[in-house]
Amino acid sequence: MMGILSLLLWTPAAGVLVLIFTPSQSIRLIRAIAHSFTTLAFLLSTWILLLYNHNDAELQLSEYIPLNPNLGSAYALGIDGISMPMLMLATLLTSVALMASLTLTKDVKGYHLSILILEFGMLGVFLAQDWALFYIAWELTLIPLFFLIGRWGGQRRHTASLNFVLYTMGGSVFMLISLLAISQYDLEHAGSLMTTMHQAAKDMPRYEQILVLLGFLIGFGVKMPIFPLHGWLPLAHVEAPSPVSILLSGILLKMGAYGLIRAVNMLPEAAHSLQPLLLFLALFGMLYGGLLAWRQTDLKAMIAYSSVSHMGIVLLGIASLNEIGLTGAVLQMTAHGFISASLFLLVGLLYERTHTRNIQDYSALIQLMPRFSLLITLSLLAAMGLPGTLGFIAELHALMGGFQQWGGLMVFFSITVLISAAYAMRTISLLLTGTIKANLTTLTDLNTRELIASGLLVTGIIGFGIMPSPLIDLSATTITQMINQISQRLL
């Protein structure tokens, strides 16, 4: 009997199978099939959310089928408070990305196939409770993304897709070496590979643990991305089609942060030794990403650099190694998923109408596109962490976690908040105020479909900003258990 987690995982794969046998000319049918399967995946993840008991810190709804007894690898799935919000985000944003893809006309079948394969890989990463399975799912996301950027992207799409794949594969090599280093130790094949590696990591000498964590930091850091491993991100975001940017920033960056949380939990002594390095990378990335975002004239490049800054906040939360900081990291992962997806979606819809992303080409949009103006203003205010939005709740937790650990150094965090306020306010004033330019007079406001897609995301940002407790409660017990385990190991 297939468990519900397997059902969710294999839903996009079933969609791929159906699409393969659908004729390429039947464009409406292809879209309908892809939409049906992504909607089904979203409904299944909602059902899992209802079944999930947030008061239980252990793995839930686990499935376990041994695959290779000699290696100890297994088809092991399970969810906890860290993976549950990510699952919801992945299925929601895939549905939103497809809603935003209706204007696409080039090779529609290949595009929808790639999106479904990508969803399958992303769900695999968040559901896997076995490092071998995790690694396969992680690598699987590269293939569809390479084609999505390289085939449907902008003018420099080939450079962008190659850049992305080379960076990520380079990072994956370090991750693989780290996994192999741990597996040299006696692995008891009682549970899945993830549990046994936790046990094995305890027996490793401190210097080896540090080297292994550095390998993970490079592997996951490329995907997050943390400074200085972020080189692929701005180009990939600028060249990728907007629906792909939604998935890239909304989910794929979170895969890196999610993996890093798992690695830090497995190697807490090494994380404690590397705390100063992690703090430096986090604070520097936050300032650097913010300053570069401030300087951009291309709207997509601005959102891409702001992602480097926002993921720095996630790294800061993870590096604090305390409960409130880690809560901030998980909240920021969710907040950034909603905010960046909303911004990329809205900028993409604007680009479809005007074919320019240069911020200087716009003015007075509030008179021409009031609905668009309201949604993008709310999204930008959330990006700078305005109270009443999910961005504020997340940043507040990360800041408190950092302050608890490092005190006065958090003044750099405050500077980052000021910089993000500067580029958010600049963008709002350039886009929305001024006199109407002659070439913009024919602009139309968002239609119903576009309003539903962007409205869903903005509702999430504001709804969880006003009532964050359901989101905090979802992860609270898992995070408490993680921090207790880390504290015991550090004693």
Give the model confidence (pLDDT) of 5-62 as tens digits. Answer: 899 999 999 999 998 888 888 888 989 999 999 999 999 999 999 988 888 888 888 8
Provide the pLDDT confidence category of residue 192 given band limits of 50, 70 and 90: low
Shortest CA distance to 125 belongs to which of 196, 54, 219, 39?
Answer: 219
Residues 6+ apart with CB under 8 A from 116: 12, 13, 15, 16, 19, 34, 37, 38
CA dist., res. 172 & res. 368, Å (int): 46
Do 309 and 286 form a contact (C-beta atoms < 8 A)?
yes
51 contacts 29 by C-beta, under 8 angstroms: no
Over residues 314-357, the pLDDT tens digits come to: 999 999 888 999 999 999 999 999 999 999 999 988 888 888 88
Secondary-structure breakdown of the chain: helix, strand, coil percentages, each rounded to the nearest 5: 75, 5, 20
> Closest by alpha carbon to 167, among 266, 248, 285, 64?
248
Whether residue 190 has pLDDT greater than 60:
no
For the chain, domain boundaries? 274-491
* Cβ 320 vs Cβ 379: under 8 Å: no
Q: What are phi and psi of 436, to 5 degrees?
A: -70, 130
Mean pLDDT of all residues in the chain?
Answer: 87
Please state the φ and ψ torsions of residue 168, each to the nearest 5 degrees.
-70, -40
Unique residue bearing structure tokens 């209706």: 102
Q: Is the pLDDT of residue 127 over 60?
A: yes
* Mean pLDDT on 255-260: 91
pLDDT attached to residue 156: 84
For the chain, give the longest Cα–Cα distance. Answer: 71
Instruction: Specify the higher pLDDT residue, 491 or 475.
Output: 475
pLDDT band, residue 201 (cuts 50/70/90): confident
Q: For residue 60, what is the enclosing H or E element?
A: strand 60-68
d(CA 24, CA 107): 8
pLDDT of residue 233: 83
User: How far apart are alpha carbons 454 and 100 in whole angstroms?
Assistant: 9
| DSSP H helix total and E strand total for the chain | 22, 2
pLDDT of 484 strictly over 90: no
- Measured CA to CA in angstroms, residue 437 lies from 125, 440, 443, 452 at distances of 47, 5, 11, 28
Q: How far apart are CA 108 and CA 267, in angstroms?
A: 44
Assigned token pair, 190: 């009682």
Proportion of the chain above pLDDT 70, given as a percent: 97
Q: Is the dihedral of CA 300, 430, 336, 101 positive or negative?
A: negative
Q: How far apart are CA 454 and CA 352, in angstroms?
A: 15
Q: Rounded distance, CA 109 to CA 45, Å?
A: 25
**Residue 127 — φ and ψ, nearest 5°?**
-95, -25
Burial 422-441, CB ≥16 within 10 A → b, else e: ebbeebbebbbeeeeeeebe
pLDDT value for 187:
60
Contact partners, residue 319, CB within 8 Å, separation at least 6? 271, 275, 278, 279, 282, 325, 405
Strands 73-79 and 60-68, by their bridges, are: antiparallel
Split at pLDDT 50, 70, 90, the class of 189 is: low
The answer, yes or no, to whether residue 235 has pLDDT greater than 90, is: no
CB 361 within 8 A of CB 295: no
* Residue 210 confidence (pLDDT) above 60: yes
Q: Do 283 and 367 touch, CB atoms closer than 8 A?
A: no
